[in-house]
A and B are shown apart, each in its own frame.
Chain A
Amino acid sequence: MSVNNKQVEQIAKLARLKFDENEIENLTKDMNKILDYMDQLNELDTDNIEPLSHPLDLSNVMREDNLKESISRDDVFKNAPSHNEEFFKVPKVINK
């Protein structure tokens, strides 16, 4: 399996990342190296091995439904590039 420049551009777009042509070229090369390595792993026979969904052998890490205090508005907006007293502000997104 391999990816081309166009697919890498699409992936970048979905992640809201911007690269110039040169960077895309390099990223495509890097990604294909990773995919080549995966192909190498694919040579192993895994027919009788259950797919692993989580690296830790843990299950049912849960909490009770107990209320905890939320944080203050000041803290809420501390990292926001734009906000008013009540809301985060983002560039207008088309909705309807």
Chain B
Amino acid sequence: MNTEFESVIGLEVHAQLLTSTKIFCGCSTKFGNPPNSNVCPICLGHPGTLPVLNKKVVEFAVMLGLATNCSINERSIIARKNYFYPDLPKGYQISQFEEPICENGFIEIELEDKSKKKIRIKRIHMEEDAGKLIHDQGDDTLVDLNRCGTPLLEIVTEPDISNAKEAYSYLSSLKQILTYLEICDGNMEEGSLRCDANISIRPKGTIELGTRTEVKNMNSFRNVERAIDFEIERQIELVEEGGEVIQQTLLWNADLNEAFPMRGKEESHDYRYFPDPDLVPVVVDEIWKSELEKRLPELPQKRKVRFVTEYGIPEYDSEVLTSEKEIADYFEETVKTTKNYKSASNWIMVDVLKVIKDEKISITDFKLSPENLGKLINLINSNIISGKIAKEVFPEILKSNVDPEIIVKEKGLIQISDTSEIEKAIDEIISQNEKQVEEYKSGKDKVFGFFVGQVMRATKGKANPQIVNDLLKQKLSS
């Protein structure tokens, strides 16, 4: 068969919210506490208990809605989604069905050819998380209900995503927005951001959607990409061999690089949603909405554009610096001290980010203050130290956040710009290396580097490299 296929993808993302307490009770949402210690009669689903909605969850939902161009429903309803599974002691999950809090938004992503594409967001709704089941210890399934009732936002796209790369890009943008808003830490590995993909294929150019499958259990950005590629290929092969795609849920196995059909929970998808009589409607009026709008930070795309126009740094730099809010904040703090924006950008993109990556820390745990980094850059700019010396000073000041001006003075690292001192060193080196002088004069330009090295060694790296270059050229050609 020669039919060409195209894939159609929609994503459902669950974002765990950074509230201190659960969505319907005052239990802690803290991760990593002993099993079944953050629970109370409400999240245990005991009869006669009354859930009360956490106001912060509504605020976070509205903020995300505004940041993703959604319309905020003035009135939204909380519903019960009924299913029986031991991770939910009540026998239903409190969620939203009809009239979710946000609808009809979009996130703009950048494609490989730099063009933009809008991925429409169908809805964002609030719901509670379920508990955790452990199947592989002993004869029974063990249940930890600490996570039960942790607030989630579910963000559902329209089937606007065409391939794994776009899915990756959408997910990165969404994570960036969530972390800029400081409502979710965006950590896929730890499960605070989870992504399910609905995937179908159809002959290229046709409109009707094919039967879709749902792929779950992808716990990293890379795995989302790989799982989508896998599933598209599986469906195409199946259809080309005359088979038919059946609607089913698959679980991604990252070790085997394959997705397998899930069994068990699925037998019936009859959730019998109905409005939860325990929870009254949520009304977000214009006043509340505009208050929340004022609380929105500058969002990543806007900040990226501003960095280019305000600081005159290249677009690439701006993209790297604004990839995380904390890195962008660090940059802006640094340029309060130094006006050399490009240099600040270079130091952060190369030196600072390298330390962070090597030590696997976040920039908020990076000890060197932006002010001291700014001072270091100023020392280079004003020719007090050379760039080379600065690279040596950097590791010394970063561990305990030392003022570079102090260390430069203490260690006598101030650059020698005094031409007579440098001249003296050059004269000595020229007289000691006649052979190399001859070589240079006979046209071997490479030897020049040898002289620079010698002068630098003689001055312990403190000679101003520009002056060294100029003087050497002058002396060697005389």
The residue among A16, A56, A63 with the most chain B CB atoms within 10 A of its own CB is A63
State whether the Cβ of A3 lies closer than 8 Å to any Cβ in chain B: no
Counting from the closest, the 9 A-B pairs by CB-CB distance are: A68-B26, A87-B142, A88-B143, A94-B264, A89-B140, A62-B55, A65-B56, A53-B275, A59-B283
Residue in A closest to B262 when the chains form the complex, CB atoms: A96
Partner of A14, one of B40, B58, B84: B84
Q: Please report which residues of chain B, range 1-45, place their CB below 8 angstroms from some CB of chain A when the two chains form the complex.
A: 19-21, 25-28, 34-41, 44
Q: What's the tally of chain A residues with a CB closer than 8 Å to chain B?
A: 39
Give, as a whole number of angstroms, the nearest-CB distance from A85 to chain B: 9
Question: Is B143 a contact partner of A90 (Cβ separation < 8 A)?
Answer: yes
Q: Quick one: given A14-B272, A59-B75, are A92 and B135 in contact (CB under 8 Å)?
A: yes
Q: Are B36 and A88 in contact (CB under 8 A)?
A: yes
Chain B positions within 8 Å of A76 at CB level: 36, 39, 44
Q: Are A62 and B140 in contact (CB under 8 A)?
A: no
Q: Could you tell me the distance between the alpha carbons of A45 and B275 in the complex, rounded to whole angstroms?
A: 23
Answer whether residue A49 sits at the interface, using C-beta atoms and an 8 A cutoff.
no
- Give Cα A91 to B52, complex, Å: 31
Task: Give, as a whole number of angstroms, the nearest-CB distance from A31 to chain B.
Answer: 14
What does DSSP make chain B's interface, helix, strand, loop or mixed? loop
- A79-B52 CB under 8 A given contacts A67-B21, A70-B27, A94-B263: no
B44 touches A91 (CB 8 A): no
Q: How far is the CA of A63 from the CA of B270 in the complex (A)?
A: 32
8 Å CB contact of A87 from B35, B262, B279? B35
CB within 8 Å for A88 and B139 given contacts A16-B84, A63-B55: no
A60 touches B282 (CB 8 A): yes
C-beta contact mask, B45-60 vs A, less than 8 Å → 1, else 0? 0100000111110100
Report the Cα distance A54→B18, complex, angstroms. Answer: 29
- For the complex, is B63 an interface residue (Cβ under 8 Å from A)? no
The answer to whether A86 and B55 have CB atoms under 8 Å apart is no
Task: Judge if A64 is at the interface, Cβ distance under 8 Å.
Answer: yes
Once the chains bind, are B36 and A73 in contact (CB under 8 Å)?
yes
Is the CB–CB distance between A86 and B283 below 8 Å?
A: no
Residues of chain B having any CB pair with chain A under 8 Å: 19-21, 25-28, 34-41, 44, 46, 52-56, 58, 75, 77, 82, 84-86, 91, 99, 133-135, 139-145, 251, 260, 262-265, 268, 270, 272, 275, 277, 279-283
Q: Choose from B55, B99, B133, B268 the contact partner of A95 (Cβ within 8 Å).
A: B133
Chain A residues contacting B142 (CB-CB under 8 Å) are 84, 86-89
Cα(A10)–Cα(B269), bound, Å: 12
A78 vs chain B, min Cβ distance (A): 10
Asked if A48 is at the interface of the complex by the 8 Å CB criterion, the answer is no
A residues near B281, Cβ cutoff 8 Å:
53-54, 59-60
B77 cross-chain contacts in A, Cβ below 8 A: 53-54
Looking at the assembled complex, report how far the CB atom of B235 sits from the nearest CB atom of chain A, in whole angstroms.
22
Contact call A82/B140, Cβ cutoff below 8 A? yes
Chain A residue contacts of B279, Cβ below 8 A: 61
Q: Is the CB of B283 within 8 A of A65?
A: no
Are B44 and A90 in contact, with the CB atoms below 8 A?
no
- A70 CB, nearest partner CB in chain B, Å: 5
B residues less than 8 Å from A60 (CB atoms): 280-283
21 A-B pairs with C-beta separation under 8 A? A53-B77, A58-B280, A59-B283, A60-B283, A62-B54, A62-B58, A62-B282, A64-B54, A65-B21, A67-B21, A73-B37, A76-B36, A76-B44, A87-B134, A88-B142, A89-B140, A90-B143, A93-B133, A93-B265, A95-B262, A95-B264
How long is the Cα–Cα vector from A58 to B283 in the complex, in angstroms?
10
Whole-angstrom CA separation of A14 from B52 in the bound complex: 27
Partner of A71, one of B41, B53, B262: B41
- Whether A14 pairs with B135 at a CB distance below 8 angstroms is no
